[in-house]
Amino acid sequence: MTDRVGLYRCRNGTKTQWRVRWFGDYAPGSGKQKRYSKTFSRKLDAERFQSAKAAELRSGAPRDLSTETLAEYCRWWLQYRARGQGLRPATVYLYENTIGRLCHYFGDTTLLRQITAQAAEMFLAELCPLQGEKPLSNWTRSQILRKCKTLFGDAESRDFIARNPFKKLRGPKTSVTAWYYLDRGEYRKLLDVTPSLREQALYALCYTAGLRLTEAVALRWADIDFETGQVSVVRYAGTDTLPPFDIKDNELRSIPLPQQTIDLLLRVQAEAPDNVPYALMSKRRYERVVAKWEACRAEGRAWFNRDYGNNVLTRFKRRIRRAGIKAGGKTLTIHTLRKCCCQNWIQDGQPINVVKMLMGHADIGTTERHYSQVTAEQRLQVAAAATARLQTPAAEAGADATDPKLTFSPDFACQEAGERR
């Protein structure tokens, strides 16, 4: 099979044109190669295309031009790639939203290979809210770009297109929203003005265990180990009677609970209604969740984790006002309690990689950037306290606190290892 890409001079009426020709793959039926050509008005443009096409064929790129349309490819991708891989319904929804924007902008019948890097850049620049949507934030624009990179990256890997037009594009910089740090004293005030035990337990699980709101609301009694004092975040598949629960970032995790939170959960358990598997649900709320799940199944709609919750934010804001807590314009929601938990762990000296695992983050950068407002001075205080704790055993052993034999001496390490053996 030849990789030759020819350049020919031709005439179109009185105009001189330059035509680049190359061959496709052998057709299974006829055994012949299909011929392709592209015409240019300038020789320089034709020579550049000829050189690029020859390099493309030598690299093993597909010879035949794909006739896959944007709508056809996206329909296939959603069916076989997204849903077939068991993505969370919320993630599938984001892909569906992105695909809708792509088809609306480029048109359903646009060939996938016709979407160039320049066209992709224009698509991102002209992103605008769809009907009924709020103005798009930089975070939303970055999410759309990431989904486009995945969609067209798969198309490139399957030879639908020669290159991913979104690959080298960069999204807008997302700013870190300032959130209000609720200290331990304010947290106790919040619990004091909250009359419901279930609400108190909800706030406690977010503030002391770092659970997301949906993770706390959908928590089952089976996920709480009172003997070891731990709570586990577990994925559940949907059944005939109970809806599914998906875990963000696929992070199964167990978190230790402080005694105060354990005592609070024990009080909730003592008053829990019979035959309700969820720890923080009343009988009435549980029946509503089951009815909503039955409706989703009957209508073929997807179930989202947010379907577990009810209007808890309104009550939370009411409790914050009663506790006399003023955020000063900063964000203060139930999710902020989870961020406060993260900051408390960091301030108490927990390593950042351990905090990342406890929070269930896939990327440590998320923990550092969005969940920690620890200042440089606070970090130095934590480091100093950790150093003091390391020096304590040396002082108890009667050695100087900075004795290198207790820290860095190879002889001491070998001696200690021999004693263990």
What is the CATH classification number for the domain harbouring 277? 1.10.443.10
Q: What is the pLDDT of residue 372?
A: 79
Q: Are 390 and 408 in contact (CB under 8 A)?
A: no
Both tokens assigned to 97: 């939203």
Closest CA to 85 of 149, 154, 152: 154
Whether 233 and 261 map to the same domain: the answer is: yes
Whether 23 and 99 map to the same domain: the answer is: no
What is the spatial distance between Cα 219 and Cα 209, in angstroms, rounded to a whole number? 12
User: Average pLDDT, stretch 172-182?
Assistant: 83
- Per residue in 199-212, pLDDT tens? 999 999 999 999 99
Whether 239 and 200 map to the same domain: the answer is: yes
Whether 255 and 150 map to the same domain: the answer is: no
Whether 42 and 101 map to the same domain: the answer is: no
Q: What is the pLDDT of residue 380?
A: 65
Total domain count, the chain: 3
Q: What is the pLDDT of residue 14?
A: 78
Side chain identity at residue 410, one-letter code: P
The residue from 339, 355, 381 where one domain ends is 339
List all residues 6 or more positions away from 122 whose beta carbon is below 8 Å from its beta carbon: none
Closest CA to 245 of 273, 223, 227: 223
Q: Is there a domain that residue 89 lies in? A: yes
List all residues 6 or more positions away from 234 whose beta carbon is below 8 Å from its beta carbon: 220, 223, 245, 247, 252
Q: Is there a domain that residue 399 lies in? A: no
Q: Is there a domain that residue 376 lies in? A: no
Q: What is the pLDDT of residue 415?
A: 43
The residue from 310, 339, 368 where one domain ends is 339
Whether 202 and 335 map to the same domain: the answer is: yes
Whether 97 and 47 map to the same domain: the answer is: no
- Per residue in 213-250, pLDDT tens? 999 999 999 999 999 999 999 999 999 999 999 887 65
Q: What is the pLDDT of residue 276?
A: 94
Looking at the predicted structure, is the pLDDT value of residue 416 above 60? no
User: Average pLDDT, stretch 309-324?
Assistant: 90
Whether 127 and 208 map to the same domain: the answer is: no
Q: Is there a domain that residue 414 lies in? A: no
Instruction: State the pLDDT confidence band at 393, using cuts at 50, 70 and 90.
Output: low
Q: What is the pLDDT of residue 403?
A: 41
Judged by DSSP in three states, 115 sits in coil
User: Average pLDDT, stretch 392-414?
Assistant: 43
Among the listed ranges 7-16, 130-139, 251-260, which one has the minimum average pLDDT value? 130-139
Residue 40: domain span: 6-58
Q: Is there a domain that residue 347 lies in? A: no
User: Average pLDDT, stretch 65-88?
Assistant: 81
Looking at the predicted structure, is the pLDDT value of residue 375 above 70? no
- Per residue in 328-363, pLDDT tens? 989 999 999 999 999 999 988 888 899 999 998 888
Whether 201 and 292 map to the same domain: the answer is: yes
Q: What is the pLDDT of residue 27?
A: 62
Q: What is the pTM of this model?
A: 0.69
Extended beta strands in 181-321, E state: 224-225, 230-233, 253-256
Q: What is the pLDDT of residue 74?
A: 92
Among the listed ranges 17-21, 73-77, 368-372, which one has the minimum average pLDDT value? 368-372
Q: Are 74 and 60 in contact (CB under 8 A)?
A: no
Instruction: State the pLDDT confidence band at 269, using cuts at 50, 70 and 90.
Output: very high
Higher-pLDDT residue of 404, 261 = 261
Q: Is there a domain that residue 176 lies in? A: no
Q: Is there a domain that residue 306 lies in? A: yes
Looking at the predicted structure, is the pLDDT value of residue 420 above 60? no
Higher-pLDDT residue of 369, 21 = 21
Q: Is there a domain that residue 389 lies in? A: no
Whether 247 and 334 map to the same domain: the answer is: yes
What is the spatial distance between Cα 388 and Cα 381, in angstroms, rounded to a whole number? 11
User: Average pLDDT, stretch 272-296?
Assistant: 94
Looking at the predicted structure, is the pLDDT value of residue 81 above 50? yes
Percent of the chain with pLDDT over 70: 83
Whether 206 and 234 map to the same domain: the answer is: yes
Whether 255 and 335 map to the same domain: the answer is: yes
Average pLDDT, the chain: 84
User: Average pLDDT, stretch 255-282?
Assistant: 95
Q: What is the pLDDT of residue 18?
A: 92
The residue from 157, 174, 206 where one domain ends is 157
